[in-house]
Amino acid sequence: MSQGEYAHMLAEFLRESGGAAVIDGGLATELEANGADLKDALWSAKCLFTCPDLIRKVHLDYMEAGASVLITGSYQATIQGFLSRGFSQEESESFLRRSVELACEARSIYLEKCSDCSDEAKDRTKYRNRPILIAASVGSYGAYLADGSEYSGDYGKEGNLEFLKNFHRRRLQVLAEAGPDVIVFETIPNKIETQAYVELLEECKLHIPAWFGFTSKDGTNVVSGDSLIECASIADSCTEVSAVGINCTPPRFIHALVVSIRKVTNKPILIYPNSGESYDPIRKEWVACSGVSNEDFVSYVRKWHEAGASLIGGCCRTSPDTIRGIWKALHGV
């Protein structure tokens, strides 16, 4: 597909979604809310082999809340991470494929329910037949390290361009071959990894559109201190990239970040902030009472949309209730 075809596909999806589409919410933290133990270096990727049915359930919960974009459970799923746990190369690649399959299965189940209850008015708020995209998640190298460096962008001596490209290459190929609608690079913390992703997309010829989500802790730069505008410009320059935006960032920074990104791209802007809570990477737990309520989070949605965001959802510590609120805010319910 060409850049024009990628752009047309996303424009048509947004048109059919009413001008703005709802991305799902936090997968890992919702898995925890459903009883999964994620205190593990693989984080939510652990569930791909311990409780895959639970991943499918959470995908369904988010669609029932209004999400039209499902992000797969592959954020922290890396071949290197699975190999370090004793899995074979073949098994490691199968877990990556499984993350896409689970989301596709959930979508099929949901759309079948939509058809089954189309005449029951009481279910129309939960089951609405609509286009739903599967976005295969690619987390940063820092996510694999599981030491919090995805929130600093400091990879030390290993963080050079060729190393990062080699780290991500096979994983990216396997995910693309599994049949998602889009690849989403999430929580990108620095300029060097942005460049690595762009070069991989250009070299691998995956024939699938990509979205880029950066993370910021100051409302101006990405978390490494690199310029957000420079990073967004690099993403915008790539013909395979059809949307650029922000994820896993406190809600209070989002409006200014959307305005900044709009200065360097005409592509759709995606945003899915976290709840604003702080994460302790050493204790691997969230700091209580450090975020915003669902009501406060949802109150920002119209402002974000008016600033230019057209793909809006939630990241860590957001829930189906958050997504339900976003859908209502965007559709005036």
Does the annotation flag 316 for ligand binding? yes
CATH for 3-331 is 3.20.20.330
Residue (of 56, 57, 53, 58) closest to 29 by Cα position: 58
User: At a CB cut-off of 8 Å and minimum separation 6, what does 46 contact?
Assistant: 36, 38, 40
- The proportion of the chain whose per-residue pLDDT surpasses 70, expressed as a percent, equals 93
Instruction: State how far the Cα of 174 lies from the Cα of 179, in Å rounded to an integer.
Output: 9
For residue 124, give every residue at least 6 positions away whose Cβ sits within 8 Å of its Cβ, in sequence order, or none.
Answer: 117, 118
Count other Cβ atoms within 10 Å, centred on residue 326: 30
- Say if residue 248 carries a ligand binding annotation: yes
pLDDT digits (tens, 9 = 90+) for 46-58: 999 999 999 999 9
Q: To the nearest whole percent, how much of the chain has pLDDT over 90?
A: 84
Q: Which one-letter DSSP state was computed for residue 227?
A: B
61/161 Cα distance (integer angstroms):
38
pLDDT at 75 over 70: yes
For the chain, the structural domain boundaries read 3-331
CA distances (Å), origin 285, targets 7, 26, 62: 39, 15, 23
pLDDT, position 117: 73
Determine how β-strand 309-312 pairs with β-strand 269-272.
parallel
**In this structure, are residues 280 and 287 in contact, taking their beta carbons and an 8 Å threshold?**
yes
Find out whether 256 and 287 touch, Cβ atoms under 8 Å. no
User: What integer pLDDT is reported at residue 49 of this predicted model?
Assistant: 97
47 is in an annotated binding site: no
Residue 220 pLDDT greater than 60, yes or no: yes
The alpha carbon of 260 is separated from its chain's Cα centroid by a whole number of angstroms, namely 20
Contacts of 300 (CB under 8 A, 6+ apart): 251, 254, 255
> Is residue 69 pLDDT above 50, yes or no?
yes
pLDDT of residue 154: 94
Assess whether pLDDT exceeds 50 at residue 121: no
Q: What is the pLDDT of residue 286?
A: 67
